[in-house]
Structure 1
Amino acid sequence: MVATVRLLAGFLLLGSTLASPVPSTNGISFPPLPFPPITPTGLLCQLPIVKNFVCPRQTSSGLSVSTPIGTAQGTVDTSGVNRFVVRYATADRWQASAIATTWALPNGATDPSALPLACPQPDVDDSAFSEDCLSMILYVPTNIAAGSNVPTMMWIHGGSFIVGSATGPGLDGSSLAIATNSIIAVVQYRLGALGWMAPSGATNLAMVDLINALGFLRNVVPSFGGDTSHITIAGQSSGANMVRAMLAIPSASSMFNNAIIQSDPMDYGFLSTSTQQTMQTYFNGLLNCSTSDTSCLNAISLDGLIDAQMDLFSNAYTLDPSATQSEPMRPVHDGNLITTTLDSSSAFPSVSKSVLVSTVLNEAGLTIYGNFDSPLPESSWEPVVNQTFGTSRTEMICNSSQYAASQFVSGGGATSNASESTVDARAQLQELGTDYIWKCSSWTFARNWVSNGGTVYAGLYIIGSSYPGNSDVSYCTDTGVVCHQDDIQIVFGTAPSPTSEQAALISEMQARYGAFFRTGNPNPSGSSLANWQAAGTSDVNAILLGGSGHAPVGACDPSYWGDAVQYDYQVYGI
């Protein structure tokens, strides 16, 4: 039992923050926050040995578009959509990127059907990635021509800031482009240490990449029929975190109109400069190079850099608990580029943009049930919470009715007659993790945003499409369960063999996104869809996506999370 509690404490809630960090035992290493996996299927089209034979789409010799920086050559992605792959920026190692001034295919490719290599990341064959990875894929409906003035959405992939790519599972933008009659751009940015841990101490290089991606889009989308006054940025998980960081960058504000934030773990907050410096000192010590010795730093192999990066990833929370075990490398509130925490730990700025904020029903399910495949006794509940939250917050959590055992019985459902023997503590941990890391912290952001001049539409997915890898955890395949990432293939319309319920939600979300791209309001004109009411300063009016009515408030009442029980960013003052 002691070992079980220690394992839970070291890992619980996606390795968030620990009052007293407890290492895993028996040599077991738990994964961090779940992210879109780089699967064999996802990598197939990135492997040079097969990509030119298996993956090229139909090429049209007449498929070319004249842009201010050269002629763009594309391919037919699916019927009704053309695909253009391009390098949007270049960057030397650990230097700020610069916008591309000529249209060029990524990675020295000559065939416009070739897909871009991913950015360097762990557990991927070296042939599948390159430092020359600042690429994007444009999906353009064939009925759009120059002068059409359609909106553009720029999608930022997730992956805990260390993995992922524009060619990840489910990210083909053709269906979404057709349904919304919009240009969909899926972008890559520098990951891990290359994007966040410059030995010189320069911060937020990956954010600069995204700013340059927006600058590139503004230069070229008019040539494809896009309207630069209607650009929406969107992302999921760590990609959503970067969307929120873009909202905290005044110099980027004029480059986009609206924002979509899907499943952002807002509880973590942006990194403080002191935490970043602590991690930077540790990371620099692993490199055996002077921070000013560019030749030495450039000579480090990518495998060597990734090894050092993952050393930091594994140990960052022991250096500073606010780093978390899940996303230690992330946007830094440096006061220069990112000028506000954009949370409740400091004064919230005046805002005006329209933001769509969503989470899924069981965000923490993949992690909790994926690592503990047998029921946990109720007796483990309070000790585990204490190890994770510390005494003060544990008392508030365990002495309230929000996560009481009576609310949870094995197999789901609630009863006032549940006994300890029928309660599986995993259900409580899943609910707790979902609330404080994602759902309630997102609702707190929504209230803050509205209170300071902006508009928010909040939603909760109760239907999803199991993302590749999620089906390995039986809980995530249970009826009514929607795990982290299960919203991606709904939005993109890439759910394989969708059920009637999934198909209906895909149609609804794509209609709502199309309206949001154009007006900042997800209620299509003349539609029979239920009205999506904007959030208020108290009631966020979060609608059930895939159902009807509003999501129950539960522990997301503003008097509970963020007030009675503080978020991690409040506890650590970041």
Structure 2
Amino acid sequence: MYSFTSILSLVCAIASFSSFCLSLPVSCQASSSATSCAADTSGSNSSLTSSTPSLSALEVDLSLGTVRGVNTSYGSQRFTLPYAQAPVGELRFASPQPLSAFPSQSASLSLSSSSVSDIYNATQLPPACMQYGDDTYGISSDKVSEDCLYLNVYRPASSSQATSSKPVLVWIHGGSFIAGSSTAPGLDASYYVAKHNVVVVTLQYRLGMFGFFSPSGSKGMGLDGNQGLRDVVAALEFIQNNIGEFGGDPNSVTVAGQSSGAHMVRALLSTPSASSLFQRAIMHSDPANYGTQSSATSEQVSDYALEQTNCQSLECLRALDANTLVDAGYATVSAASNIGPSVSAAETWRPTKDDFTGTCFESDPATSLAASSGKSIIVTNVANEGGSVIGSMLQPTTMSDAATLRAYPVTLTRSQLLSQMFNGNRSDTIGSSEEYAMATTDAEDSSTAESDGLRSNLEMILTQGQFSCAAWYNARRYANGGQVYLGSFAAGIEYPSNKDNDYCETAGRTCHEDDILLLFSDPTLNSLGLTSSQKTLLNEVQARWAQFVRTGSPNTRTLDGWSPVTSDSTRINVLSLGSASGGGSSLQTVSLTSGDHAGCGMVWTSRVQFDWQMYG
């Protein structure tokens, strides 16, 4: 998910519109870091409600100490815990350090009348990691902090459930590696765990410059790099060591994520130190056009950010106010196209291969995907991934404007926009290809052919080039070592970031992030205002995902027919989620050489390379 409130959020966070972004104002500025936490909002008037358990039922004994969580009205419990030492002071930019005991808490959080309590208060949601605040995602400027390495454990509450061994789903949030949190809209799993009898963990990791800083000479400075990735691995290790006490099965862990969170999952699939920490994976809207950052590119990015701080030493950097580093990190994103051709504004900061310690990225996730691991994987995208960007950036256009788009703040031609989307020398080939030729009529609705055909064309190119074609290419490679299930959301639930986006709100379109609210939400919530078809889709997604977490297959007795992809075919099986009558799904055979997705097989990797092929 993306957390900019200006157009910069929607453009820079998905596609490489770098020069365009340079002229955009940043409306949200970082403020002083804070440790205040959001109140518990997980309750609901669901039929799953149960009586409030005793305090002892909310307490769990761990090797680090006893913790007390909070009960939700769904008959589930939530525990918010640190999984590593706070990465502040001398630990800023360092690899995550394990806890020897839970840290002391302020008197306001104490669970006893004395200033020191033997029980850790795990009832308060955590502050987000350092970033610009955005109320759209529930991240106000006073709820960000460097002390952010926390995870939230959701579990069913009844004693019979709590004592059994349940499968575990670990969710990694998105946000282009510069934004997002474990508490964003749709990530409260209170309802889901009570309904499906699983354990869910949502975690946070360092972002931007804090999470991926690796300048020239890092080794001499004592920096390992890949701080954000190492955070996630540390969280998975914490889960292995502790989840059993919450009723979870450490030998049945599925890692899942959306957008850059899905990219993080892809990175974990090729991280040797993470291989034994999970058994299955789910990737929603992975921007698979991008691979891991080369060490040379990572140094370019980090060196540019370092210049913005006027520091020359690690001591200087650690003495700076955290907001200064947030500013430097975001300035680097805005300047991405000026730093080098291999630097993308979509994921300027991201996991890097050739790590100094040798524990991470012995292979590139885009080219060597743990083929012998045998892990089962679900890979999904939404039908109109690029719509969030296109709808925010461009006004509706007429066919008479076929050569020119009226785009704020300047007028750009179709060719110029394509060159912004796909750096290198790819735009001319893409723009002139038969597969991506702009139709004279709009197949979606002939009545709008004169008003939106151009935006539809650009959205399709962005959706396929950045997301679906790239993900499907990788999925066929994954299939050499394990079963891979492909899905595409033909419908969803509008995410707050797409509200008032005229392109995304057009009937029949499902934009980036519109799948998030399907995952854990209670379909009976009046605030969601779901149609009967949306409820049907939500229930199917939740049931299939729960079955996958348990067994490695998304098929149940009543929801079957989803067959995995094969590695050597140009015709692939894709479950079209929400496309059937009444909100159900249907398995479709998609050709990669003809029809709507011909560009996947006839343009991408055939005449045009993905970013990871060019710069990996």
- TM-score, scaled relative to structure 1: 0.86
2: CA distance, partners of 1:414 / 1:14: 32
SS of structure 2 residue aligned to 1:252: helix
2: CA distance, partners of 1:391 / 1:85: 44
Residues 379-390 of structure 1 correspond to what in structure 2 (within 5 A)? 379-380=403-404, 381-386=414-419, 388-389=421-422
2: CA distance, partners of 1:239 / 1:341: 17
1: CA distance, partners of 2:254 / 2:615: 31
> Aligned match of 1:231 in 234, 246, 253?
253
Q: Is 1:520 aligned with 2:552?
A: yes
2: CA distance, partners of 1:112 / 1:342: 35
User: Cα distance 1:317–1:74, how it changes in 2: closer, same or farther (>3 A)?
Assistant: same
Q: Is 1:298 aligned with 2:318?
A: yes
CA shift for structure 1 position 99: 2.8
CA shift for structure 1 position 79: 2.2
Match of 2:301 in 1: 279
SS of structure 2 residue aligned to 1:541: strand
CA shift for structure 1 position 23: 4.7
2: CA distance, partners of 1:511 / 1:24: 41
- Structure 1 gaps of 5+ residues are 1-7, 32-36, 39-45
Q: Is 1:489 aligned with 2:517?
A: yes
Cα shift readout 1:403-453 (whole Å, capped 9, x = no counterpart): 2222752x83479xx98x566311100000000100110000101111x32
1: CA distance, partners of 2:452 / 2:144: 46
Match of 2:137 in 1: none
- Structure 2 gaps of 5+ residues are 1-6, 44-51, 111-120, 135-139, 405-413, 580-585, 592-596
Q: Is 1:182 aligned with 2:198?
A: yes
2: CA distance, partners of 1:99 / 1:472: 44
Match of 1:102 in 2: 101
SS of structure 2 residue aligned to 1:193: helix
CA shift for structure 1 position 103: 4.4
User: Cα distance 1:239–1:489, how it changes in 2: closer, same or farther (>3 A)?
Assistant: same
> Aligned match of 2:438 in 389, 405, 426?
405
Match of 2:540 in 1: 508
Matched residue type, 1:187: L
2: CA distance, partners of 1:186 / 1:311: 29
1: CA distance, partners of 2:420 / 2:124: 49
Match of 1:319 in 2: 339
On the 8 A contact 1:56/1:113 being kept in 2, the answer is no
Matched residue type, 2:184: G
CA RMSD of aligned residues (A): 3.0
Matched residue type, 1:215: E
2: CA distance, partners of 1:375 / 1:94: 46
Match of 1:42 in 2: none
Residues 160-239 of structure 1 correspond to what in structure 2 (within 5 A)? 160-198=176-214, 200=218, 202-239=224-261
On the 8 A contact 2:11/2:393 being kept in 1, the answer is no
Equivalent residues, number: 537
CA shift for structure 1 position 392: 5.7
On the 8 A contact 2:566/2:572 being kept in 1, the answer is yes
SS of structure 2 residue aligned to 1:476: coil
Matched residue type, 1:518: R
1: CA distance, partners of 2:247 / 2:283: 26
On the 8 A contact 1:119/1:188 being kept in 2, the answer is yes
| Amino-acid identity (%) | 33
Matched residue type, 2:601: P
Residue range with higher mean Cα deviation, 387-396 or 178-187 = 387-396
Match of 2:55 in 1: 61
Matched residue type, 2:126: P
Cα shift readout 1:116-169 (whole Å, capped 9, x = no counterpart): 111111136553112111001111011354551110011001111111111111
User: Cα distance 1:154–1:104, how it changes in 2: closer, same or farther (>3 A)?
Assistant: farther
Match of 1:573 in 2: 615
Cα shift readout 1:223-257 (whole Å, capped 9, x = no counterpart): 11111110000000011110100001011100100
CA shift for structure 1 position 328: 0.1
Cα shift readout 1:41-75 (whole Å, capped 9, x = no counterpart): xxxxx984x946x8597895232122233212011
Match of 2:169 in 1: 153
On the 8 A contact 1:154/1:185 being kept in 2, the answer is yes
Match of 2:155 in 1: 140
CA shift for structure 1 position 455: 1.5
Matched residue type, 2:144: F
CA shift for structure 1 position 88: 1.0
Residues 2-151 of structure 1 correspond to what in structure 2 (within 5 A)? 16-17=15-16, 22-23=19-20, 27-29=23-25, 48=36, 51=38, 60-62=54-56, 63-90=58-85, 91=87, 92-103=91-102, 109-110=109-110, 111-123=121-133, 126-143=141-158, 145=161, 147-151=163-167
CA shift for structure 1 position 15: 6.4
SS of structure 2 residue aligned to 1:323: coil
Residue range with higher mean Cα deviation, 176-185 or 247-256 = 176-185
> Aligned match of 1:332 in 352, 355, 375?
352
Cα shift readout 1:75-104 (whole Å, capped 9, x = no counterpart): 112321111111111132111112333345
Matched residue type, 1:334: D
